[in-house]
Amino acid sequence: MNIDQADPAELAALRAAFDVDDGEESALGWEAVHAFEAEHKVVLPEPYRTFVAEMTDGSYSGPPEYGLLPVAELPNDWGDDEQERDLSKPFPLVAPWMWEEDSDRFEDADEILEQVYNHGSIVLGTDGCAMNWHLIVAGPHRGHIWLITDVGAAPFGEQFGYTTAEPGFAGWVRHWAANKPWYDAP
């Protein structure tokens, strides 16, 4: 997973999965990507960065279940629209956390929980029922995908033990395009 330089093979796989060509009308364009990054004080990880700039900024064809959101949007069921999100602050987790089962894991659990939802990630989309896929844009897990639900949060990728998928945006999309269950590890 190279989050600093776009891999041509990954970009080709993304184009195929979403059936898009370079210069699609729905692509954000590099000027808008740079403006988004400057406004939020982050650099989007590759290949997602090139994907939204050159291919498409959102798609109804998925993933996830209800489609890929544009880079600056939140799901309709997000909740408190007034809550301040700061993409430049590090995403606080590096390991799964099921807060319903492990509420005493952190001394300041409520503060950490607020950070999970509001720091260092963009929301890629939802599978419904408050199951949102996030791309981490700041912190130690930059470039990784996380599933954040109303009961907990878990990273996506083979090295985390829940799936056979490669990590990162391209691995997440390839896994979806292959019609595999999200969590398919034996």
Segment 41-94, tens digit of pLDDT: 999 999 999 999 999 998 887 788 888 999 989 888 776 656 689 999 999 999
For 4-54, write each residue's pLDDT tens digit.
Answer: 999 999 999 999 998 876 555 689 999 999 999 999 999 999 999 999 999
In a domain, 185, yes or no: no
In a domain, 20, yes or no: yes
Report the Cα–Cα distance between both ends of the chain, in Å, rounded. 23
Q: How confident is the model at residue 2 (pLDDT cuts 50, 70, 90)?
A: confident
In a domain, 158, yes or no: yes
Q: What is the mean pLDDT of residues 150-167?
A: 92
Give one DSSP letter per residue of 85-125, joined into a string. Answer: PBTTSPP--SS-B-TTT-TTSSTTHHHHHHHHHHBSEEEEE
Question: How many domains is the chain partitioned into structurally?
Answer: 1
For 103-129, write each residue's pLDDT tens digit.
Answer: 666 677 788 888 999 999 999 999 888
Q: What is the pLDDT of residue 112?
A: 86
Q: Which of 68-82, 137-151, 153-167, 169-183 has the lowest mean pLDDT?
A: 68-82
The domain of 121 spans 8-75+82-177
Angle between helices 168-177 and 8-18 (to 10 degrees): 40
Q: What is the pLDDT of residue 103?
A: 64
Question: Which DSSP state fits 160?
Answer: G
Q: The domain that contains 51 carries what CATH number? A: 3.40.1580
In a domain, 65, yes or no: yes
